[in-house]
A and B are shown apart, each in its own frame.
Chain A
């Protein structure tokens, strides 16, 4: 029995658990009334523990968050994206619903998740040589195929065509309006969101020189942490702008490099595989300001 316990303890790190702890840096209770904005409880946390420097990114997943008046603050939370460890001194933002004004503290249970690509280098770091040589055709890679990720680098013409097919017409607007109503979003708010979507729709059309466009499905983008462009020397080219625009389940990732990539540029994809994820449970009690 004792040896079995020992084996289990030793096996835990291999399963991707860690001794990482979550410490509260700041808490902001941003409360609204009488307008259209809704409030939120924002926490800024820092991570402590060993081997954190091996993690490229981290995120906090909330399992339970409740104030001392019983308000559930974890309702309808979306899974956050991984956030690069190089930003904001490694701190992470956690957004929760607004607690009761009468509450004095909040108890939170959750998991901190680290993305450590070096734990699964063969599958999590995928390099595709001369990736931009064949545009408007899916990237060819065994590793991507095994991960069931399909991405297509687009030519400027292909990009414009893709935008045209995504254009918000009356039918799509009606579908978005119906979806908003179904989710109980107030009508005024829905109209504002649609106006914003239409504005973004028109701004989509500006193409910066040297931009790289990758088209794919939502489930593919959900599993990609980052895409680097590697120059002829194998070094990443600086990319001051990158964004992913989703329309339904279709997405386009736009990467704007600081200089036009060479013809033989490679793409290096960081894929979020199960083995590259390390988790640590945590509990926090937050005194409300």
Chain B
């Protein structure tokens, strides 16, 4: 527990570079230092590791290394599942009792996984390297659980009506504006013009379930898009990038003029990071 507090304090100090100006004298630095201490102390309070319950340990060990890893299921009893749209676990440290480092350092940063539970507490999962066969417990693991909670910011969701037929102009919505996001549905004429610029093999031929859009999202705020039909039901989509355009496909056939486009965005208020520390977890 002490170790995690030290890590939290160091992390917070690094996160406040404005308080450490190298050319200033000690006297002038004093108020700033006091401020750092205050922020660090505050952070200590705010970043207290969350209460977590380990609900599953799966050590999948394969000779061929196929899907070979240690996954730990963690429940956060104080967070209702229905408030979380997606989550991921960012692991900072993990060692077994043989001393092996279990952090998958070569792996890409994990993506936010959609939450499908709407009852009870939120449950997340973290993936580590396999411990040694001779190890008997996960000695310690720490990091942060990132929760995407759209309800914490009204500007996280944009429901935009009358996106079809495409106007070719950027869609207007205050949540899109607040997040610096620009989305324009391409008209048939714009798509023709785009295709004329392309080599023949790269030309777009969309079926009726697909639309081409141009998206500007410099802060990488878009989390997910979908349609909402006239009954208010969400129609899920898949997206793929294509030479600067994004193709939105739906499994529900041709998008209808009375459907809305729903854009869910990650804003500073909606992304909540909860520190965690696990100690002495028995290995199966």
Contacts and interface: CB of A to CB of B under 8 A. Distances in A.
A33 B284 contact: yes
B62 interface: yes
Contacts of A289: 61-63, 68, 133
Contact of A27 (B56, B63, B136, B283): B63
Interface string B26-66: 00000000000000000000000000001111111111101
B61 A37 contact: no
Interface in A3-45: 26-35, 37, 39
A137 interface: no
Contacts of A27: 62-63
A28 B283 contact: no
Interface in A163-215: none
A26 B57 contact: no
Contact of B63 (A28, A98, A101): A28
Given A26-B66, A101-B284, A37 B56 contact: yes
B72 to A, nearest CB: 9
Interface string A270-289: 00000000000000000111
A98 B59 CA distance: 12
Nearest to B71: A32
Nearest to A28: B62
A31 B59 contact: yes
B10 to A, nearest CB: 31
Interface in B130-153: 133-134, 136
Nearest to A102: B134
A235 to B, nearest CB: 35
A31 B58 contact: yes
B64 A101 contact: no
Given A26-B66, A101-B136, A32 B61 contact: no
A289 B64 CA distance: 9
B124 to A, nearest CB: 14
Contacts of A37: 56, 58
Interface of B: 54-64, 66, 68, 73, 133-134, 136, 281-284
18 contacts: A27-B63, A31-B58, A32-B57, A32-B284, A33-B56, A33-B282, A33-B283, A34-B73, A34-B281, A34-B282, A35-B56, A37-B56, A37-B58, A101-B133, A101-B283, A102-B134, A288-B133, A289-B62
Given A26-B66, A287-B63, 10 more contacts: A29-B59, A32-B57, A34-B54, A34-B57, A34-B284, A35-B73, A288-B61, A288-B133, A289-B62, A289-B133
